[in-house]
Structure 1
């Protein structure tokens, strides 16, 4: 009994330590937005009285409302489009057997091995030819197709009862109706997990938006934070406040969908 209690104490202490290590950056970020740049550089770990000054610097020097809305719009449209396209593609790969299906699917999966650095120039030339440079449409359209989300959906569809699909076809239901009325409502957890992944990927994107979006009006929160930190005299307190603002949507979405997220990642179905 003593050995079991000792092992539990060690486990709990380890978990507490890991929790503190994980939470510390958030604590330092919140504390930093209340301190001056000098205090942040010194590593002050207590709350200060410079919050309103930092807020004034941030909102007076940058159009934070517009930039925040840009990020929300881009991420939301990217998530909606990515979920629709990727789930339908995965549905086709799983429920439409053909000779070339697995070969095509394997080629698509192999495309995940191509680094983005090798795709930047062709994508940039494509965006220029389509006259979509410095537009949110260009950024969204190039982010809709996600090989990982297609793979993720197909793995979840493998556990979906194919008898239900066949019965619906026998009853005369069309494929689109089967997909929207039967498959989608039954896969809420999978959609939630994919939505969180897609939103975080789009929200945190930096390199491609930096190339595509060339005006201040089109910037996203990641580009704003990057430009603030590269200033000659960085206002670290204001930067911390901007980071907190940029972190809030991800925290809200994750905690709202966390139950579905766990179910989706474990491959369970919400019947």
Structure 2
């Protein structure tokens, strides 16, 4: 009897936590079907304004252009950061060097530096390179991810070194070994890293707000945050709800296809 009561409260707790987690998404879907005044009034039932809100979103905002800007930046950051981080972690784990542990420790310690401290030096650097108001000003500082280096390094700690040594004896160079031997064995880790990197780049707000200064370069988060300025200071919450739904679609699709590998990658990385 005691075990049944205990199980009941466990499942009840899980249900409550699940509802709290899912409720904002449900509220967003419901809000997209109502008018702005109905959303402000707190209406919690589906309405008939979804098509109007959808039409106004594409008529009054540059959602297609900003969506493309966000997608372009997120894809570039994801691909480049994964390649650089995986190769760096491979070097730290596989190669033997007297000072590599010190260098790796410095990299890990740099995770404690808040980004607000780096914004001014980064902005001056982008200005000197002539990259302000360019997508590369957002992409380049995001390529080197210390967390991803740590993430790949943890996975490589359990990788059999004998396999790499055998490939070297067979005459394969290091890039060939990394591409043909290491990468296939760490597919789940790469998938988890891709989700993490894409989410961070897609939702990035503060740095793009600083370096992307023209409307044709703005990303989707900047569009949503600045929507009040494009509607003559009268906020249309119906449009905002539609934009938020659009902004969640890429992350939802990526996680839907990679969720199995994401769980495996996180578990594998933690085993190290």
Deviation of 1:229 (Å): 4.6
Give distance in 2, aligned partners of 1:251 and 1:52. Answer: 22
Give distance in 2, aligned partners of 1:129 and 1:258. Answer: 41
Give distance in 1, aligned partners of 2:158 and 2:31. Answer: 47
* Structure 2 SS opposite 1:214: coil
Residues 1:93 and 2:102 are matched in the alignment: no
Residues 1:257 and 2:258 are matched in the alignment: yes
Aligned residue number for residue 234 of structure 1: 235
Deviation of 1:218 (Å): 0.7
Aligned residue number for residue 247 of structure 1: 248
Residues 1:39 and 2:35 are matched in the alignment: no
- TM-score, scaled to structure 2: 0.96
Deviation of 1:56 (Å): 2.0
Aligned residue number for residue 50 of structure 2: 51
Give distance in 1, aligned partners of 2:144 and 2:209. Answer: 19
User: What does 1:174-189 align with in structure 2 at a 5 Å threshold?
Assistant: 174-189=173-188
Moved >4 Å (runs of 4+): none
- Asked whether the equivalents of residues 94 and 154 of structure 1 are also in contact (C-alpha less than 8 Å), the reply is yes
Deviation of 1:137 (Å): 1.4
Deviation of 1:20 (Å): 1.1
Give distance in 2, aligned partners of 1:111 and 1:26. Answer: 35
- Asked whether the equivalents of residues 229 and 239 of structure 1 are also in contact (C-alpha less than 8 Å), the reply is no
Give distance in 2, aligned partners of 1:9 and 1:155. Answer: 37
- Asked whether the equivalents of residues 135 and 218 of structure 1 are also in contact (C-alpha less than 8 Å), the reply is yes
User: What does 1:1-271 align with in structure 2 at a 5 Å threshold?
Assistant: 2-229=1-228, 232-267=233-268
Give distance in 1, aligned partners of 2:14 and 2:108. Answer: 36
Deviation of 1:268 (Å): 6.5
* Structure 2 SS opposite 1:126: helix
Alpha carbons of structure 1 residues 130 and 240: separation in structure 2 relative to 1, 3 Å: same
Deviation of 1:14 (Å): 1.4
- Asked whether the equivalents of residues 77 and 197 of structure 2 are also in contact (C-alpha less than 8 Å), the reply is yes
Give distance in 1, aligned partners of 2:81 and 2:38. Answer: 43
**Mind listing any 5+ residue stretches in structure 2 that lack a counterpart?**
none
Deviation of 1:9 (Å): 1.5
Give a deviation string over 1:149-191, Cα, whole Å, max 9, x none: 0000001000000110111111111001000000001100000
* Structure 2 SS opposite 1:177: helix
- Asked whether the equivalents of residues 91 and 157 of structure 1 are also in contact (C-alpha less than 8 Å), the reply is yes
Give distance in 2, aligned partners of 1:212 and 1:180. Answer: 35
Give distance in 1, aligned partners of 2:154 and 2:269. Answer: 11
- TM-score, scaled to structure 1: 0.96
